[in-house]
């Protein structure tokens, strides 16, 4: 049993969950597991799905912080450009250029905030979906025992 098949099953659950809801996605996930793997392989499949979804949750918790990726570089460059624009606004001959650059920096700051909020929301939803998968797996493994 390779990780591609397990990842495919998780991906199917995620897409079905987005479309049809928790109950429908859970029923299809369990049906997929029993149709694809029979007997003892279902237990092994469920354990691997549970461990892979746990890995995804840990990964998303680490990478879900928007100030750990390219957003940090974007934020630091905005601070540098904002500081330069403030310096330009203090010079009489470059005041207008400084105001234009500062206005652009404010627009990009708003864009960064919106991007960070969207990333936090998407990460939270995905973590919740992976926790649902873990609950389904725990329930099925508990019934098998």
pLDDT in tens, 61-74: 887 776 677 888 88
CA atoms within 13 A on the CB side of 88: 16
* Of residues 54, 76, 69, 75, the one with CA closest to residue 120: 69
Residue 3 has pLDDT above 90, yes or no: no
- The pair of structure tokens assigned to 135 is 């609950």
Please tell me the least confidently modeled range out of 4-8, 83-87, 98-102.
Answer: 4-8
CA atoms within 13 A on the CB side of 25: 21
* Residues in contact with 133: Cβ distance below 8 Å, sequence separation at least 6, in sequence order: 10, 13, 29, 49, 50, 53
Rounded Cα–Cα distance for residues 52 and 64 (Å): 17
Compute the average pLDDT of residues 102-130: 90
Q: How many residues does the chain have?
A: 145
Rounded Cα–Cα distance for residues 41 and 53 (Å): 18
- The pair of structure tokens assigned to 69 is 């990726």
Does residue 105 contact residue 98 with C-beta atoms inside 8 Å? Answer: no
Instruction: Report CA Rg, the chain.
Output: 24
Q: What is the pTM of this model?
A: 0.75
Residue 62's CB: how many other CB atoms inside 10 A?
9
Confidence of residue 145 (pLDDT cuts 50, 70, 90): low
| pLDDT in the model for residue 110 | 92
The domain limits of the chain are: 3-144
- The pair of structure tokens assigned to 106 is 């404010």
Burial of residue 35 (CB within 10 Å: 0-12, 13-18, 19+) is exposed
């Amino acid at each position: 049993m390779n990780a591609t098949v397990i990842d495919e099953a998780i991906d199917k659950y995620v897409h079905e969950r987005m479309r049809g809801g928790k109950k429908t996605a859970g029923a299809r996930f369990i049906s997929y597991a029993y149709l694809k793997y029979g007997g003892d392989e279902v237990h092994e499949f469920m354990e691997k799905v549970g461990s892979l979804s746990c890995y995804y949750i840990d990964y998303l918790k680490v990478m879900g912080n928007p100030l750990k990726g390219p957003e940090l570089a974007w934020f630091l460059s905005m601070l540098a450009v904002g500081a330069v624009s403030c310096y330009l606004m203090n010079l009489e001959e470059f005041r207008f250029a400084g105001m234009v650059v500062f206005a652009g920096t404010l627009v990009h700051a708003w864009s960064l905030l919106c991007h960070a909020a969207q990333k936090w929301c998407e990460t939270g939803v995905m973590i919740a979906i992976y926790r649902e998968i873990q609950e389904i797996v725990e329930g099925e493994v508990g019934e098998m025992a």
